[in-house]
Structure 1
Amino acid sequence: MNTAEIRRRFLDYFATRGHEVVPSAPLLYNDPTLLFVNAGMVPFKPYFTGAETAPFDRATSVQKCVRTLDIEEVGKTTRHGTFFQMNGNFSFGDYFKAEAIRYAWELVTGSQDAGGLGFDPERVWVTVLHSDDEAAALWANIAGLPAERIQRRGLLDNYWHMGIPGPGGPCSEIYIDRGPAYGRDGGPVVDEDRFLEIWNLVFMQEELSTVRAKDDFDTLGDLPRKNIDTGMGLERVALLLQDVDNLYEIDQVFPVIQRAVELSGRRYGRGGDDGRQDDVRMRVVADHIRSSLMLIADGVTPGNEARGYVLRRLLRRTVRSMRLLGVHDPVLPELLPVSRDAMGAAYPEVVENFDRIAGIAYGEEDAFRRTLTTGTQIFDLAVSDAKTAQQPQLSGERAFQLHDTYGFPIDLTLEMASEQGLSVDADGFRRLMQEQRDRAKADAKSKKAGAASTEVYRELRALGLTPFTGYEELVTESRVRGIVRDGALVESAGEGDVVEVVLEQTPFYAESGGQDSDAGLIRADGATLEVVDVQRPVKGLVVHRVRVADGELRSGVDVSAEVDGEWRLGACQAHSGTHVVHAALRQVLGPTALQSGSYNKPGYLRLDFAWPSGLSPALRSDVEEAANQAIRLDLNVRANYMSLAEARELGALALFGETYGEEVRVVEMGGRWSRELCGGTHVQHSSQIGLVTLNAESSVGSGVRRVEAFVGIEAFRYLARERALVSGLTEALKVQPDQLTDRVHRLVEQLKTAERQIAELKSRNVLAEVGTIAAKAHDMWGVGYIGHHAEGVAGGDLRTLALEVRNRVQDTPAVVAVVGGTAEKPAVVVVTTQGARDRGLKAGDLVRTASEVLGGRGGGKDDVAQGGGTDGSRVGEALTAVEHAVGHVVQS
């Protein structure tokens, strides 16, 4: 049974039993404690915690998940995969243990002809919490399981909570016996490789007050409404029903391994130490390709922080693993389409958006291949230093620097060091990596702990949502529901205080969807508040950050909330301008130029979009022209509410990574010309935008570009500044504006010609000194040493000078050391003749001596080497240090 069919059967089973089928949330979920959705219950967490009221009593979903804490274990065991799918059924105060157990048993053991999964009941084992007699009795009565196949375990295994105060409860896990070929008999308490867990049923029934550890917490008592949260590992069920050894061999993953086999010429599953290493690498490739595909599909782009760094690491580990399999050509164009075809049946969006996905992934591989080139150069220098110091291994610090700073994988460092006859201090490397992980975990823990500070907002949200009246009006009469200072409710705030205020209703737009928050005033009897920020810390609740300009504000008083009209007009222009620029990009570049992020505020917008390369001036001009033509056409702008399915059928574009409810707001400009899901504020006609002027275009990651623009009056001001600049230049150069470009080009060419002439004269002057410098040689026990300070000479000229001096003394043992450059950036070149090298003198060693004195480093070959530093005041000391080093070698 293929994985997509298992997924369909699960959803169908629960849909026919009154469960709302909820689509998977994007992997980028709006949760400050998570990089990605990492469990099936995450989108339902507000319902379980009580922050929001569930719109249904029971639900089911197949949720996309990503976990990367155990990324180093991927491929080594059958338990670790970065991307996985979690089937779940959920009850919010509806049914409880008996129904959850009955549903699970029926689906797991029901015949495949009747829509079940068809597992043999004799192969099913379960675990329950040691004290949960009720669950044990239900398994015996409903499923008829004998006592020996109902095993009891402690809190570490069979109790669930979020790690913070909130709901918790015992759980019951379902296992399938894979048979004696996979391990020892005796149930999951003996061997969890043979007895594979497929489903965890969590019975949320208690309120936790303090959580110290997984098995150390305090309870307040029973929850007023008991809930069910279950998670069935889709990949685990698939590997059992497809009769394969591990999750890397199921139908959604294994095709990538097969393609890796074809590309590398290696066999999968051939045994032996080398074979096991190859198997691990192929599993890493298959897992990471799928994870990368799904992350990019949900709007993640490679970067150096947070989610972007995770994606970058997955893609680079894929390329590295294929390199270790012997494939040095680009591999993502060969592998990513295979994963697309395997996942497309369950997730059609990966097929629909593949051009965008591929552009981002392929761009990252190209960048990493360049990184490998740079990293190899740094590695070569590290090897040279180790050999010079006669050290048998590279230090853990150097290996970690290569990994962390230059993105150079440790496996490649180990492999290449071995080729050079060196080992690597792997323990030191692992220690530094662990320190980095510990820092990351501490940071994550602090963020998780910070989630508890939302308690005050949950209390306020429980009193009702905050209606937004700003689409219809800029001034709304309202009432203060609560005042928050330092995370706690207070009764009042005085002049000069900065606090957060929640109103019964508000016209202030809270920052979201790329649009900055509104500015304005809140007026109460005897008090004036300046609104400095507006946010939604929990869904449905608008919080105003204010400064009390005068008077005193008290909770419960009536207020007038007044949005600054000029600010809102600018915000509407900028947000509508963002939609116009997005549509213009797609009109000029094609449908794959999809928005991946945006920010706009009065007078300014920026928009990130998928595109593999920079825009030429002509393309930028075309985009700007298309945008302003749409403004000139005075397109009608309107917003309609409809179901998400209707919006998709209409072709409305959704922002990657955003979560949308079943009812969405669709903003149209000129009908189909621009149609996007959007909750922001907009102008009524495109002409009200005024003008859009693109002022910048840049890269923000592999396959992602950013355009920036001024909008409305700011666009006019920008053009006015440009006009003033042109006017000043035309006056200074005495030309007409239309002649300015040609005149500047001629001046640049004249300047380049003059610089070349100066460089040639400088080189001739430098070379004219060769004879004089060569004559400075003095004998040091049979070796001539020439040290010279060529002030202001740098680059190729310094190297040429040193080589020309060496040519004058080529027939004798001699060392030439020349220091040039500037006081802030001195440069040094050391060259040796064959006679000097026969005496054991190496230019690379000598240039390192000089560079260290100058506050830098250097290296090179035995005959020619160069380096530099940061302290030009020590040139004399550097030349003397080389002289002493020469004397030391020739006397030893």
Structure 2
Amino acid sequence: METAEIRRRFLDHFERNGHTVVPSASLISPDPSVLFTIAGMVPFIPYLTGQQAAPYPRATSVQKCIRTSDIEEVGKTTRHGTFFQMNGNFSFGDYFKEGAVELAWELVTGSQDDGGYGFDPDRLWISVFHTDDEAFEVWKKVAGVPEERIQRMGLHDEENYWSTGQPGPAGPSSEIFYDRGPEYGPDGGPAVDKGGDRFLEIWNLVFMQYERGVSTGPGKNDFEILGDLPAKNIDTGMGMERVSYLLQGVDNMYEIDQVFPVIKQASELSGKRYGANHEDDVRMRVVGDHIRSSLMLIGDGVTPSNEGRGYVLRRLLRRSVRAMRLLGVDDRTLPELLPVSRDAMKSAYPELETDFTRISSVAYAEEDAFRKTLRTGTQIFDLAADETKQAGRPTLAGDTAFKLHDTYGFPIDITLEMAAEKGLSVDADEFRRLMTEQRERAKADAKSKKVGHADMSAYRELRDAGVTPFTGYEELSTDTRVRGLVRDGVAVLVAQEGDTVELVLDRTPFYAESGGQDSDAGIITADGSELEVLDVQRPIKGLIVHRVRVRSGELVSGQDVLAQVDPEWRIGACQAHSGTHVVHAALREVLGPQALQSGSYNKPGYLRLDFAWGQALGPETRSEVEEAANLGIRRNLPVSATYMPLERAKEIGALALFGETYDEDVRVVEMGGEWSRELCGGTHVARSSQIGLVTLTGESSVGAGSRRVEAFVGIEGFRYLAKERTLVSQLADTLNVQPEQLPERISRLVAQVREAEKKLAQLQRAALGTKAAELTGSAKDVLGVRFVAYEAPAGSSTEDLRNLVLDVRGKLGEQQPATVAVTAVGDNGRPTVVIATNQEARNRGLKAGELVKTAAQTLGGGGGGKDDVAQGGGSDPSKVTEALGRVEHLVGETITRGS
């Protein structure tokens, strides 16, 4: 039975039994604290936990999921994968244990001819929580499972008790296991088979029935039960891939129909037969899993980067490429593998075929970038690994691993793999420390701006009073009331003058930052008090929170207030957001429909837009896009916003932002009908001409297969052009030419400067050439070693320094006495040092590579090379004289030790 058919039967079964079929949410988690959707229940958390009323009593879905915590085990076991699909059915206060068991058993054991899976009931085992007598009896009564095949599990077996780890809903669970037979492990049921190789769990039924209190011990399941929940819920999860490999008669999830075609292709490309060699098999399974995961992630709008989700995608793609290289394939492989994965997955996810041009361009660009990285980074790694082994150390330094990651884009797991191949470990603790320092620096500004606390209980209590209606589409000023105040995550009753607090209103005209649009600015006033609105966010779905500073007076919870958006700010925000839609439409008009938006940010006067494209836009193309955007503005197109079901919006071609989570009813913003039609909750102008002007100011790469354009909008666009006009006028006056003559005049001046620099370099080289003879006559004696040190003039190149030390060494000779020649230059903030030694010096233990490290470290950098000549550099040019002195001192120390 194909995986797509298993999926269809699951959804059909529950739809026939009164469940609403809910499409899979994006792999990008709606919870900003989690990178990916990791379980089928994630989109339903607000309903399961009671934060929101469920829009239906029963639901079912097949949810796309990504988990990377066990990425090192991928390919090694039968069941560890990064991408997987979780089939689920959910009851929100409707049926409970008996209904869940009955529905699950009917599907699992039902005849394949009647739409079931046809599992043999005699090979199915059940686990229940050790005190859950009700579930035990339900399995006996409803499913007819013999008592000996129903096993009770204890509290600390997390497989049979569910909770969030925080106060809230909790409850026991019950799992269905399939017995694969004695050849896979010991008899005695899942309680005996701890590895899960014989008794394979295929479905977990969670019975949410209790309200849990605070922790009473160190474990996740150490807590006090406060009582029964007012509404009991069902949350189940069936592992699609596990069911697939059981029904398809294969040994593991990598050999199912949605994965194995990629393994087969990898086998053909490498000439390695799958099943012949364990290490090769693991590599092929890694490729099969990671290619599929990458396909699905890019399909949901993730692009490679060095942070967050993008970093996970980059790891997956690069691990795939490296696995193919270890299988002996040095050529590009993704163009051979990715289409195979698409064809295996498209029956379940047809959008992969529709969007494959964009998906493939992102993946192929990343492979090309990584192939270049491998060439450069491998040389750096090999040098560091060889030095580590020569020094007799078993561990590669953590800062080397960090440099490989930060500078050359090596995921740490690839560095670990390469180190292991050379018999080395890696100082992973030091690597993680450096990574943490970097992330903390990067996040500091963002953290200071956003609303967010580990404890969200204060916000949840405010959300329990209802959603915050947004009135800003219709008005900029709203009479409202203070629902609550929060300071540092704790509810407070009063805010005094000078305080900065978070404020929730009963309704608000202030737009909360979302969909790429920055939040509104303005003021909130009450009797004798005025508050400046600094930021507006949605920490919980449906709740709008204002961060405010009390300028004067005092604010009390429950007080009536007037919320007023700054009208100039809102006009600019509308222009910028509508301008973003215009630029997106212009990009698609000029480049084609594959130039889809993947992200955006806009605020009054400014916009940036990320889109799928694999190469830089030339000046002519940029001008064409800019003209298309402004022509759209000039056409004075009507702008409208309409609410409609999500499926209807997709039918009419409304574009959705990749990775964004949408409700069942969505807001569609149109400009001129089909010219621009997007799902959007932002604020907009009434007609395109009100945008005024769009001026593109930059275009750059933001990752493989992804570009970014930036623009000024409206009055800011005019000011930008006026500033450029002034600059052109000043240059024309300075050079005494007409503005249209500037390009030719500046080109001529640049050519003259380059010629002058060339002549100057020639003169410097000639001067250095004559300097060699002078230096040989002034060599210093350091314990019998002729030592020559010279601080070259600024502007000397590394090649000049190298030629000089070799010339000095040549004039002094390779034989006795020993000679060390050192040159250094401190230029443009990047000092350089070059050292050469003759044969006799090397015989006495003076090696250029070791000497240059001391000099480079003094300069705040590093270096290396061969024993006869080496070079290095640093960041502190003021230390050049000190570096030369350190080398002289080390020469003396080395000779002393040798004698």
Q: What is residue 748 of structure 1 aligned with on the other side?
A: 750
| Deviates further, 528-537 or 47-56 | 528-537
Q: What is residue 884 of structure 1 aligned with on the other side?
A: 892
Q: What is residue 795 of structure 1 aligned with on the other side?
A: 798
Tell me the TM-score normalized by structure 2.
0.93
Q: What is residue 628 of structure 1 aligned with on the other side?
A: 630
Structure 1 position 131 matched with structure 2 position 131: yes
**1:640–1:666 Cα contact (<8 Å) kept:** yes
| Deviates further, 310-319 or 190-199 | 310-319
Superposed displacement of residue 599, structure 1: 0.8
Q: What is residue 227 of structure 2 aligned with on the other side?
A: 221
* Distance (Å, rounded) in 1 between the aligned partners of 2:864 and 2:577: 54
* Distance (Å, rounded) in 2 between the aligned partners of 1:573 and 1:438: 39
CA displacement, residues 530-564 of structure 1 (integer Å, 9 cap, x when unaligned): 22222222222222222233333333333332222
1:298-313 mapped onto 2 (5 Å cutoff) = 298-313=300-315
Q: Secondary structure at the match of 1:612?
A: coil
**1:584–1:623 Cα contact (<8 Å) kept:** yes
Q: What is residue 843 of structure 1 aligned with on the other side?
A: 848
The alpha-carbon distance between structure 1 residues 601 and 386, as it changes in their structure 2 partners (threshold 3 A), is closer
Out of 253, 262, 265, the residue aligned to residue 247 of structure 1 is 253
Letter in 2 for 1:867: G
The alpha-carbon distance between structure 1 residues 852 and 51, as it changes in their structure 2 partners (threshold 3 A), is closer
Q: Secondary structure at the match of 1:423?
A: coil
| Deviates further, 830-839 or 710-719 | 830-839
Q: Secondary structure at the match of 2:540?
A: coil
Out of 159, 168, 171, the residue aligned to residue 169 of structure 1 is 171
Out of 325, 328, 331, the residue aligned to residue 330 of structure 2 is 328
| Deviates further, 111-120 or 429-438 | 429-438
Q: What is residue 698 of structure 2 aligned with on the other side?
A: 696
Superposed displacement of residue 339, structure 1: 1.1
Query: How many percent identity over aligned positions?
Result: 64
Q: What is residue 342 of structure 1 aligned with on the other side?
A: 344
**2:772–2:808 Cα contact (<8 Å) kept:** yes
Superposed displacement of residue 19, structure 1: 0.3
Q: What is residue 860 of structure 1 aligned with on the other side?
A: 865
Q: What is residue 160 of structure 1 aligned with on the other side?
A: 162
| Deviates further, 230-239 or 642-651 | 642-651
| Deviates further, 727-736 or 303-312 | 303-312
Superposed displacement of residue 594, structure 1: 0.8
**2:522–2:533 Cα contact (<8 Å) kept:** yes
Q: What is residue 180 of structure 2 aligned with on the other side?
A: 178
CA displacement, residues 24-62 of structure 1 (integer Å, 9 cap, x when unaligned): 110112213311110110100001111111100000000
* Distance (Å, rounded) in 2 between the aligned partners of 1:79 and 1:338: 22
Letter in 2 for 1:664: V
* Distance (Å, rounded) in 2 between the aligned partners of 1:22 and 1:411: 37
Superposed displacement of residue 68, structure 1: 1.0
Superposed displacement of residue 79, structure 1: 2.8
Q: What is residue 670 of structure 1 aligned with on the other side?
A: 672
Letter in 2 for 1:61: S
Superposed displacement of residue 257, structure 1: 0.8
Superposed displacement of residue 260, structure 1: 1.1
| Deviates further, 54-63 or 834-843 | 834-843
The alignment's C-alpha RMSD in Å is: 2.8
1:678-757 mapped onto 2 (5 Å cutoff) = 678-757=680-759
**2:856–2:883 Cα contact (<8 Å) kept:** no
* Distance (Å, rounded) in 2 between the aligned partners of 1:551 and 1:530: 12
* Distance (Å, rounded) in 1 between the aligned partners of 2:790 and 2:560: 83
**1:399–1:429 Cα contact (<8 Å) kept:** no
Q: What is residue 592 of structure 1 aligned with on the other side?
A: 594
The alpha-carbon distance between structure 1 residues 400 and 854, as it changes in their structure 2 partners (threshold 3 A), is closer
Q: What is residue 823 of structure 2 aligned with on the other side?
A: 819
Superposed displacement of residue 210, structure 1: 1.5
Q: What is residue 768 of structure 1 aligned with on the other side?
A: 770
Structure 1 position 204 matched with structure 2 position 208: yes
The alpha-carbon distance between structure 1 residues 764 and 882, as it changes in their structure 2 partners (threshold 3 A), is farther
Structure 1 position 872 matched with structure 2 position 877: no
* Distance (Å, rounded) in 2 between the aligned partners of 1:381 and 1:640: 61
Letter in 1 for 2:34: L
The alpha-carbon distance between structure 1 residues 348 and 752, as it changes in their structure 2 partners (threshold 3 A), is same
Letter in 1 for 2:239: G
Letter in 2 for 1:666: V
Out of 802, 808, 827, the residue aligned to residue 805 of structure 1 is 808
Q: What is residue 12 of structure 1 aligned with on the other side?
A: 12
The alpha-carbon distance between structure 1 residues 53 and 748, as it changes in their structure 2 partners (threshold 3 A), is same
Superposed displacement of residue 198, structure 1: 0.3
Q: Secondary structure at the match of 2:264?
A: helix
Q: What is residue 97 of structure 1 aligned with on the other side?
A: 97
CA displacement, residues 195-219 of structure 1 (integer Å, 9 cap, x when unaligned): 1100000000001121452331112
* Distance (Å, rounded) in 1 between the aligned partners of 2:285 and 2:475: 57
**1:851–1:878 Cα contact (<8 Å) kept:** no
* Distance (Å, rounded) in 2 between the aligned partners of 1:183 and 1:853: 61
Structure 1 position 558 matched with structure 2 position 563: no
| Alignment gaps of 5+ in structure 1 | none
**1:400–1:432 Cα contact (<8 Å) kept:** no
The alpha-carbon distance between structure 1 residues 762 and 558, as it changes in their structure 2 partners (threshold 3 A), is same
**2:637–2:687 Cα contact (<8 Å) kept:** yes
The alpha-carbon distance between structure 1 residues 745 and 548, as it changes in their structure 2 partners (threshold 3 A), is same
Superposed displacement of residue 307, structure 1: 1.4
Letter in 1 for 2:689: S
The alpha-carbon distance between structure 1 residues 543 and 784, as it changes in their structure 2 partners (threshold 3 A), is closer
**1:533–1:546 Cα contact (<8 Å) kept:** yes
The alpha-carbon distance between structure 1 residues 888 and 548, as it changes in their structure 2 partners (threshold 3 A), is closer
Letter in 2 for 1:154: G
Tell me the TM-score normalized by structure 1.
0.93
* Distance (Å, rounded) in 2 between the aligned partners of 1:527 and 1:692: 39
Q: What is residue 361 of structure 1 aligned with on the other side?
A: 363
Q: What is residue 576 of structure 2 aligned with on the other side?
A: 574
Q: Secondary structure at the match of 1:542?
A: strand
CA displacement, residues 627-678 of structure 1 (integer Å, 9 cap, x when unaligned): 1111111111111221111111111100011111121111111111111011
* Distance (Å, rounded) in 2 between the aligned partners of 1:81 and 1:804: 60
* Distance (Å, rounded) in 2 between the aligned partners of 1:826 and 1:554: 61
Out of 230, 249, 266, the residue aligned to residue 236 of structure 2 is 230
| Deviates further, 232-241 or 285-294 | 285-294
Letter in 1 for 2:378: T
The alpha-carbon distance between structure 1 residues 687 and 154, as it changes in their structure 2 partners (threshold 3 A), is same
**1:399–1:413 Cα contact (<8 Å) kept:** no
**1:473–1:507 Cα contact (<8 Å) kept:** yes
Q: Secondary structure at the match of 1:529?
A: strand
Q: Secondary structure at the match of 2:303?
A: coil
| Alignment gaps of 5+ in structure 2 | none
Superposed displacement of residue 804, structure 1: 2.5
* Distance (Å, rounded) in 2 between the aligned partners of 1:185 and 1:441: 49
1:51-66 mapped onto 2 (5 Å cutoff) = 51-66=51-66
Q: Secondary structure at the match of 2:258?
A: coil
Letter in 1 for 2:256: I
Superposed displacement of residue 794, structure 1: 3.5
Out of 247, 264, 268, the residue aligned to residue 262 of structure 1 is 268
The alpha-carbon distance between structure 1 residues 214 and 384, as it changes in their structure 2 partners (threshold 3 A), is closer
* Distance (Å, rounded) in 2 between the aligned partners of 1:288 and 1:437: 24
Task: Provide the aligned length of Structure 1 versus Structure 2.
Answer: 879
Q: What is residue 198 of structure 2 aligned with on the other side?
A: 194
* Distance (Å, rounded) in 2 between the aligned partners of 1:550 and 1:854: 54
Letter in 2 for 1:865: A
The alpha-carbon distance between structure 1 residues 381 and 452, as it changes in their structure 2 partners (threshold 3 A), is closer
Superposed displacement of residue 567, structure 1: 1.1
**1:516–1:601 Cα contact (<8 Å) kept:** yes
Superposed displacement of residue 616, structure 1: 1.4
* Distance (Å, rounded) in 1 between the aligned partners of 2:230 and 2:139: 25
* Distance (Å, rounded) in 2 between the aligned partners of 1:102 and 1:451: 42
